[in-house]
Amino acid sequence: MMNQTSYIEINKLAYSHNIKYLRRILGKDVRISSVVKGNVYGHGVDTIIPLAEKAKINHFSVFSANEALDVFKVASPKSDIMIMGYLSDEQLEWAIENEIEFYVFDLLRLQSAIDYAKKTGKPARIHIETETGFRRTGFEYPMLPEVVKLLKDNPDHIIFEGLCTHYAGAESIENHYRVVNQIVEYKRFLRYFTRNGLVPNYRHTAGSAASLTYPQTTMDMVRMGIAQYGFWPSQETYIHQFKKNQAKDSDLRRVISWKSCVMTVKEVGPGDFVGYGTSYMANKKLKVAIIPVGYTNGFSRSLSNSGRVLIHGKRVPVIGTVTMNTMSVNVTDIPNVQPGDEVVLVGKQKRLSISIASFSEMSNQLNYQTLARLPNNIPRYLV
Ligand SMILES: Cc1ncc(COP(=O)(O)O)c(C=O)c1O
């Protein structure tokens, strides 16, 4: 029975399969940090964290302190949590007190980290982010003397957990030159620290695409996001693995499915407009099923008149505009569609399947965006 208008299923076997595959590629010496920001790319903190820990993952990366708190509540006390982006001063104190790791990318934050570490009596576990060419956050090379001085002056208050950077699009060959330059730049930063007797516990630069395409970027730890959820970062990344390791499409398996049910069925006649406005007019007698999922549930309005869902193992088109809470699909050719019948928005039904990618291409979004838009209040179940 369905109490909510839709629900998400998380496939345990697919997840553990993906981790095994990625470990095989990375080798046993590379630590995997599971990137779980954006409510675990829409997969849900409560479902994925225990699953990841079962797969022996004990490091989680998030964007903000708020996300870190969500993970902190669910994760084992033995797991490490790392904030890669935003935290306020109050949250900085909370992070240090709770041994949460965090990125430091400017001198203000470095100084605050030292101040709060002194105040709480616990060392701050920091990752120094370097600006190698992504042009988002990170220390510029000329700032290093000051950074090094602060680290050296405060050995009791700082743990140099990591030296890191992020690549500007390792999933596409068009960024090859820029990425290779970033690798060179990162090494220059690393040399500066080591020359000054400061060796980070973890050198980490790669996400999914870099780790699958540029093996030299995996170093001590990889911040693995999208691939662990079963998505190749891009077609190019897949082709690269295919050429190098005879990868099969099934080496990464989609973990998420998204389902709903038919709310009601109605008939419309030739010449009738379906839904708001005039974007869809029936050209003959049609049977239409109403699905209780709309853009407030993460089914983009741009899928109006173009999205597809599965009912009774058949692919049926969205007709008319996706509204805030509903969409209409054309089920004229499917006999006996009844309220309560399963509707697959993402995933398999009988022999057919709807991928996040097909979704994304149609609505012109990336997988990342489609996933991250899935609202937190859709219930997630392990299957
Ligand atoms: C700093 C950083 N590292 C790693 C990742 C993980 O990337 P991916 O999902 O492509 O593996 C992200 C995600 O965007 C990120 O912002």
Choose one of 219, 247, 275: the last residue of a domain.
247
Q: Say yes or no: 262 and 337 in one domain.
A: yes
Which pLDDT band, with edges at 50, 70 and 90, does 203 fall under?
Answer: very high
- Is 109 near ligand 1, meaning CB less than 6 Å away? no
The sign of the dihedral angle between the CA atoms of 207, 18, 357, 287 is negative
Both tokens of residue 311?
A: 């009912």
The answer to whether residues 249 and 230 touch, using CB atoms and an 8 Å cutoff, is no
pLDDT digits (tens, 9 = 90+) for 36-90: 999 999 999 999 999 999 999 999 999 999 999 999 999 999 999 999 999 999 9
Q: How far is the CA of 265 from the centre of ligand 1 (A)?
A: 42
C-alpha separations of 323 from 5, 75, 229, 245, 328 in Å: 14, 37, 29, 45, 9
The phi-psi region of residue 317 (left if phi > 0; otherwise alpha if psi is between -120 and 50; otherwise beta) is beta
The answer to the question of residue 5 being in a domain is no
CA angle at residue 253 from 42 to 356, to 5 degrees? 45
Q: Say yes or no: 154 and 217 in one domain.
A: yes
pLDDT reading at 202 higher than 90: yes
- Is 275 near ligand 1, meaning CB less than 6 Å away? no
C-alpha separations of 171 from 191, 308, 309 in Å: 27, 27, 29
Which pLDDT band, with edges at 50, 70 and 90, does 358 fall under?
Answer: confident
Residues 347, 36, 45, 117, Cα dihedral to 10°:
180
The answer to the question of residue 41 being in a domain is yes
pLDDT digits (tens, 9 = 90+) for 129-183: 999 999 999 999 999 999 999 999 999 999 999 999 999 999 999 999 999 999 9
The answer to the question of residue 138 being in a domain is yes
Collect all residues with Cβ–Cβ distance below 8 Å to 194 and sequence separation of at least 6.
none
Number of domains in the chain: 2
The answer to the question of residue 173 being in a domain is yes
Q: Say yes or no: 80 and 205 in one domain.
A: yes
CATH code where residue 66 lies: 3.20.20.10
Q: How far apart are CA 356 and CA 370, in angstroms?
A: 7
Which residue among 36, 48, 130, 166 has the greatest number of ligand 1 atoms within 8 angstroms of its CB, and so is best to mutate?
Answer: 166
Q: Say yes or no: 292 and 324 in one domain.
A: yes
CATH code where residue 277 lies: 2.40.37.10
Q: How far apart are CA 145 and CA 142, in angstroms?
A: 7
Which residue among 18, 35, 131 has the greatest number of ligand 1 atoms within 8 angstroms of its CB, and so is best to mutate?
Answer: 35
The answer to the question of residue 361 being in a domain is no
Q: Say yes or no: 204 and 340 in one domain.
A: no
Q: Are strands 308-311 and 314-319 parallel, antiparallel or unpaired?
A: antiparallel
Q: Say yes or no: 173 and 321 in one domain.
A: no
Q: Say yes or no: 232 and 346 in one domain.
A: no
The answer to the question of residue 367 being in a domain is no
Report the pLDDT value the prediction gives residue 239, as an integer from 0 to 100: 92
Q: How far is the CA of 163 from the centre of ligand 1 (A)?
A: 16
**For the stretch 57-83, what's the b/e string if a residue is b when 16 or more beta carbons lie within 10 angstroms of its beta carbon?**
bbbbbbbbbebbbbbbebbeeebbbbb
**Rg of the chain's alpha carbons, rounded to an integer?**
24
- Is 303 near ligand 1, meaning CB less than 6 Å away? no
The CA-based diameter of the chain, rounded to the nearest angstrom, is: 79
Q: Say yes or no: 318 and 170 in one domain.
A: no
- Is 371 near ligand 1, meaning CB less than 6 Å away? no
Q: Say yes or no: 337 and 230 in one domain.
A: no
The answer to the question of residue 6 being in a domain is no
Single out the residue of 250, 282, 245 nearest to residue 266, CA to CA.
282
pTM of the model: 0.95
Q: Say yes or no: 325 and 347 in one domain.
A: yes
Enclosing domain of residue 208? 13-247
Please give the number of the atom of ligand 1 that sits closest to the Cα of 226. 9
Choose one of 191, 220, 247: the last residue of a domain.
247
Which residues, in sequence order, are bridge partners of residue 59? 80
The lowest-confidence range among 137-146, 290-299, 332-341, 367-376 is: 367-376
Which pLDDT band, with edges at 50, 70 and 90, does 361 fall under?
Answer: low
The answer to the question of residue 360 being in a domain is no
Please give the mean pLDDT across all residues of the chain. Answer: 96
- Is 92 near ligand 1, meaning CB less than 6 Å away? no
pLDDT digits (tens, 9 = 90+) for 221-254: 999 999 999 999 888 999 999 999 898 988 999 9
Collect all residues with Cβ–Cβ distance below 8 Å to 313 and sequence separation of at least 6.
349, 350, 351, 352
Choose one of 205, 222, 247: the last residue of a domain.
247
Q: Say yes or no: 63 and 190 in one domain.
A: yes
- Is 117 near ligand 1, meaning CB less than 6 Å away? no
Q: Say yes or no: 171 and 263 in one domain.
A: no
Looking up tokens 């009844």 gives 338
Q: How far apart are CA 107 and CA 197, in angstroms?
A: 20
- Is 43 near ligand 1, meaning CB less than 6 Å away? no
Count of Cβ atoms closer than 10 Å to residue 290 Cβ: 18
